[in-house]
Amino acid sequence: MTRSGRRPGNSGTREAILDAARVRFAEVGFDKASIRSIATAASVDPALVHHYFGTKHELFAAALKLPVDPRDILSHFATVPVEDLGETIIRTVVTLWDSEIGVPTIAAFRTLLASDDPALARTFLLDIVLAAIRPRVDSPPGTGAKRAALAASQLAGLLVTRKILRIDPIASMPVEELAATVGPTLQRYFTGELPLTD
């Protein structure tokens, strides 16, 4: 299909689908938001949603204005030994933030932080990012959600200080030094003994 074959109304339709997707993902989370319900809210056929955006994961990335499907990054962590997760995650995400696609990624994060309703950002973190990590660090059973959320707190703050506020020496610290310095924090959250009260 050539671009010239598209009708003038297409960009409006795409935006209507993305708006409906943002509302739906924020309201019910990623898993429960069906393409069908998003299509209905946007008054289009579900096939058109797939045609424009591909899979539900790709639609979600587009709704958040992420330059990549976050699962492409998260899939890197699936085969990493759990005792290496801390350093590997720091190395991978900092390299991503510092790359060309880091700019739109960080812009998307700032938009989510500034928004009045944190539900869409919460869906992204809980249903996509932490969902990929949680089962890997769920030892003893039931602690995975807490361990993953604690790691997210350090990662979010690293992004804020290095890429948004640009606080030195964190802003200019080499990736390998960050991995060696902040990696052990994530590792302790993942596999260390935590004072778990519930």
Which residues make up the interface to its own copies (CB under 8 A)?
110, 112-114, 118, 121-122, 125-126, 130, 145-146, 149-150, 152-162, 164-170, 173-174, 177, 180-182, 184-185, 188, 194-198
Residue type, 46: P
By beta-carbon proximity to its own copies, the closer residue of 55 and 115 is: 115
By beta-carbon proximity to its own copies, the closer residue of 16 and 145 is: 145
Question: To the nearest whole angstrom, how small is the minimum distance from the Cβ of residue 53 to its own copies?
Answer: 25
* CA distance linking residue 1 with residue 73, whole number of Å: 30
SS (H, E, C) 78-113: CCCCHHHHHHHHHHHHHHHHHCCCHHHHHHHHHHHH
- CA-based nearest residue to 174, from 105, 94, 101, 97: 94
Task: Yes or no: say if 17 and 44 are a contact pair by the CB < 8 Å rule.
Answer: yes
By beta-carbon proximity to its own copies, the closer residue of 80 and 149 is: 149
Question: To the nearest whole angstrom, how small is the minimum distance from the Cβ of residue 44 to its own copies?
Answer: 30
Question: To the nearest whole angstrom, how small is the minimum distance from the Cβ of residue 105 to its own copies?
Answer: 15
Question: To the nearest whole angstrom, how small is the minimum distance from the Cβ of residue 181 to its own copies?
Answer: 6
Question: To the nearest whole angstrom, how small is the minimum distance from the Cβ of residue 136 to its own copies?
Answer: 17
Q: Helices 10-32 and 46-53 sit at what angle, rounded to 10 degrees?
A: 100
By beta-carbon proximity to its own copies, the closer residue of 35 and 94 is: 94
Give the pair of three-digit tokens for residue 57. 């994961």
Question: To the nearest whole angstrom, how small is the minimum distance from the Cβ of residue 50 to its own copies?
Answer: 30
By beta-carbon proximity to its own copies, the closer residue of 45 and 98 is: 98
Give the pair of three-digit tokens for residue 1. 């299909």
By beta-carbon proximity to its own copies, the closer residue of 45 and 177 is: 177
- CA-based nearest residue to 48, from 91, 4, 12, 99: 12
Give the pair of three-digit tokens for residue 141. 């059973």
Give the pair of three-digit tokens for residue 43. 């008054």
